[in-house]
Structure 1
């Protein structure tokens, strides 16, 4: 199965800081998929809170999300939903 890819502008007012990052990491643990997020010149393993926080991605930044595995589509949709959540 080919990896899936999405490019989104982060509209979540908190960006990928503590709370949304923690929610994302917790939700992704339920999926059989490997997910990476790129922002700027950095890449993070989306199930590592420290890796995600190190991206420093905020509202208005562009994130590229790569997802691979049996549940890649659901995992990708979850990440995109969190990144674009507008509360």
Structure 2
């Protein structure tokens, strides 16, 4: 089973350092292949260098795709993560 979601990135500085690390860690823990795409470029969501190479900024739309058992649940969790501003002061 393959599932995908289009998400608008909420972090005010985009998908950099901390938000990217949180996202990659969640993708690694998913246990199934997940990709993230911006425009025509698609990378392994479990690769910090790949995710950073996309240059995702605040308000950019990305497409997440997952394949395997529980793909919808994995994408729901990753969508929630990207839809949260992780750059707000704690």
TM-score using structure 2 length:
0.84
Paired residues of 1:12 and 1:82 also in contact (CA < 8 A): no
1:79 and 1:14 mapped to 2: Cα distance? 18
Give yes or no for the alignment of 1:75 onto 2:74.
yes
**Which runs of at least 4 in structure 1 moved beyond 2 Å after TM superposition?**
none
User: Where does structure 1 lack aligned partners over 5 or more consecutive residues?
Assistant: none
Aligned pair count?
86
RMSD of Structure 2 on Structure 1 (CA): 1.4
**Aligned position for 2:11:** 12
Paired residues of 1:32 and 1:70 also in contact (CA < 8 A): no
User: Where does structure 2 lack aligned partners over 5 or more consecutive residues?
Assistant: none
